[in-house]
Structure 1
Amino acid sequence: MFVTTWLAYGAALLVSSRDLFTRVLFEEGDAATVSIQVLAAKDFELLVGNYSRVGFHHPGPAFIYVQAFGEWLFYDILHLVPSPWNGQAIAILLLNAAMLALALSIVYSWYPSSMLIAGLGGASLLFFTAYRELISHLWFPYVYFGPFLVFLIATSSVVAGRTKHLWIAALAGGLLIHGHAEFLFFVPLLGGIALYLVIWRWKLEVATRDWRLFGAVVAAFTFPILLNTIVNFPGELPKYVGYGGGHGIHLPWTAAAYTVQFWGPNLVLALITFVALFTLVTVVARGQRFLQVGLAFCAATVPLMSIYAMIGIDQIDEAYIGYFSYAVPLFMFMLLLIGLTQRADWLKYAGVGLLVIGIAVVAMTNSLVNRRHEMVGVPAALESMAEAAGDRAIVLERRPHGAWAEVVPLVLGGARAGLRVCSDDAARMELLVTAEFVCTAEELASGMRFVVARKDAGEPVGRVVGEIGQKSGSQRSWVTAVD
Structure 2
Amino acid sequence: MDANEKHPSTQNSIAKNPCLPDLLIFGVLAFALLLINWPLINVNHIEISDFAANSLLIQKAKHLDLFVGNYSRVGFNHPGPAILYVQAFGELFLYDWLHVVASPFSGQMVASILYNAAWIAVVFRMLRTIVGSVRGAGLVTAIFLCIVAYQNFQFFAGMWFPELYFFPFAAALVAASRFASGKADMLMPLALSAGFLINGHVSFLSTLGIIFVLLVLYNALVHRKLPADQVMFGLEYWRTNAGRIARAVGVLLLFFVPLAIETLRHPPGPIADYISFGKQHRSNTLSESLQYAAQFWGGNAIFIAAIFVIGALFVHGLPSKRRTMPVEILGLLATLLAATAAMFVYSKFGVDMLDQKYIGYFYYAVPALAASLIVVWIMHASSPRSFATLATIAIPVLLIVTARKIDNTPAYADAYTRPDVVDLYNKLEKIKPDGRIVLNLNNQSNWGKVWTTVVGLEVYAKRRGNDLFCIRQSWHILFTKDARCTPDEIANHTQYEVSSATADNRTPADIEAAGLLIRKYPDDLSDVGYLSVAKNPGIFGIILGDGWSSVEPEFVWMQASEAHLLLKVHNGYSGTLQLDLGAFLPRPNSAQHLTIHVNNAPAYHATFDAGTPRQTIRIPIERVDQGRLDIRFVDPDIVSPRSLGVSNDPRTLGVSLYGLGLAR
Asked if these proteins are the same fold (TM beyond 0.5), I'd say yes
Question: For the structure 1 residues 57 and 293, does the alpha-carbon distance in structure 2 shift closer, same or farther, using more than 3 Å as the test?
Answer: same
Picking from 292, 301, 305, the partner of 2:343 is 305
Other-structure match for 2:428? 385
Q: Deviations over 1:276-299 (max 9, x none)?
A: 566678779942111101101111
CA drift at 1:204? 2.7
Alpha-carbon distance in 2 for matches of 1:267, 1:368: 29
Picking from 510, 513, 518, the partner of 1:467 is 513
Other-structure match for 1:432? 478
Q: Does 1:59 align with 2:79?
A: yes
Question: For the structure 1 residues 335 and 138, does the alpha-carbon distance in structure 2 shift closer, same or farther, using more than 3 Å as the test?
Answer: same
Q: Deviations over 1:391-447 (max 9, x none)?
A: 553333322262222111111111112222223227x42512212222334444554
Other-structure match for 1:452? 498
Amino acid corresponding to residue 484 of structure 2 in structure 1: V
Amino acid corresponding to residue 513 of structure 2 in structure 1: E
Other-structure match for 1:399? 442
Question: For the structure 1 residues 210 and 162, does the alpha-carbon distance in structure 2 shift closer, same or farther, using more than 3 Å as the test?
Answer: same
Other-structure match for 2:608? none
Amino acid corresponding to residue 335 of structure 1 in structure 2: L
Q: Deviations over 1:255-276 (max 9, x none)?
A: 1111111112x44455555555
Other-structure match for 1:315? 353
SS at structure 2 position matched to 1:458: coil
Other-structure match for 2:250? 216
Picking from 359, 369, 394, the partner of 1:354 is 394
Alpha-carbon distance in 1 for matches of 2:40, 2:125: 28
CA drift at 1:382? 0.6
Other-structure match for 2:66? 46
| Contact 2:498–2:518 (8 Å) recurs in 1 | yes
Amino acid corresponding to residue 239 of structure 1 in structure 2: D
Q: Does 1:186 align with 2:207?
A: yes
Alpha-carbon distance in 1 for matches of 2:50, 2:480: 13
SS at structure 2 position matched to 1:135: helix
SS at structure 1 position matched to 2:157: coil
CA RMSD of aligned residues (A): 2.6
SS at structure 2 position matched to 1:397: strand
Alpha-carbon distance in 2 for matches of 1:75, 1:478: 33
Picking from 246, 271, 291, the partner of 1:237 is 271
Other-structure match for 1:177? 198
Other-structure match for 1:289? 327
Question: For the structure 1 residues 349 and 213, does the alpha-carbon distance in structure 2 shift closer, same or farther, using more than 3 Å as the test?
Answer: farther
Higher helix share: 1
Picking from 188, 210, 233, the partner of 1:200 is 233
Q: Decide which moves more: 189-198 or 7-16.
A: 189-198
Question: For the structure 1 residues 255 and 185, does the alpha-carbon distance in structure 2 shift closer, same or farther, using more than 3 Å as the test?
Answer: same
Aligned length: 474
Q: Which has the higher contact order (CA 8 A, sep 6+)?
A: 1
Q: Bigger radius of gyration, 1 or 2?
A: 2
SS at structure 1 position matched to 2:438: strand
Q: Decide which moves more: 291-300 or 135-144.
A: 135-144
Question: For the structure 1 residues 286 and 242, does the alpha-carbon distance in structure 2 shift closer, same or farther, using more than 3 Å as the test?
Answer: farther
| Contact 1:42–1:68 (8 Å) recurs in 2 | yes
Higher strand share: 2
CA drift at 1:25? 1.3
Alpha-carbon distance in 2 for matches of 1:121, 1:168: 17
Amino acid corresponding to residue 125 of structure 1 in structure 2: L
Structure 1 unaligned blocks of 5 or more: 469-475
CA drift at 1:77? 1.4
SS at structure 2 position matched to 1:379: helix
| Contact 1:291–1:339 (8 Å) recurs in 2 | no
Alpha-carbon distance in 1 for matches of 2:305, 2:131: 29
Q: Deviations over 1:120-166 (max 9, x none)?
A: 23213321331121222111111111111111110111222430211
Alpha-carbon distance in 1 for matches of 2:366, 2:199: 20
Alpha-carbon distance in 1 for matches of 2:435, 2:79: 36
Other-structure match for 1:472? none
Question: For the structure 1 residues 353 and 446, does the alpha-carbon distance in structure 2 shift closer, same or farther, using more than 3 Å as the test?
Answer: farther
| Contact 1:32–1:408 (8 Å) recurs in 2 | yes
| Contact 1:246–1:314 (8 Å) recurs in 2 | no
Alpha-carbon distance in 2 for matches of 1:227, 1:392: 30
Other-structure match for 2:597? none
Picking from 22, 28, 39, the partner of 1:2 is 22
Amino acid corresponding to residue 261 of structure 1 in structure 2: Q
| Contact 2:440–2:498 (8 Å) recurs in 1 | yes
Q: Does 1:147 align with 2:168?
A: yes
CA drift at 1:390? 6.0
CA drift at 1:115? 1.8
Q: Does 1:137 align with 2:180?
A: no
Alpha-carbon distance in 2 for matches of 1:279, 1:135: 33
| Contact 1:9–1:97 (8 Å) recurs in 2 | yes
Picking from 291, 294, 297, the partner of 1:263 is 297
| Contact 2:150–2:405 (8 Å) recurs in 1 | no
| Contact 2:41–2:110 (8 Å) recurs in 1 | no
Q: Decide which moves more: 15-24 or 271-280.
A: 271-280
Alpha-carbon distance in 2 for matches of 1:368, 1:161: 41
Other-structure match for 1:473? none
Q: Decide which moves more: 358-367 or 416-425.
A: 358-367
Q: Does 1:251 align with 2:289?
A: no
Alpha-carbon distance in 2 for matches of 1:363, 1:55: 37
Q: Decide which moves more: 20-29 or 43-52.
A: 20-29
Structure 2 unaligned blocks of 5 or more: 1-20, 220-230, 318-322, 523-664
Alignment of 1:98-177 (within 5 A): 98-132=118-152, 133-177=154-198
Question: For the structure 1 residues 138 and 57, does the alpha-carbon distance in structure 2 shift closer, same or farther, using more than 3 Å as the test?
Answer: same
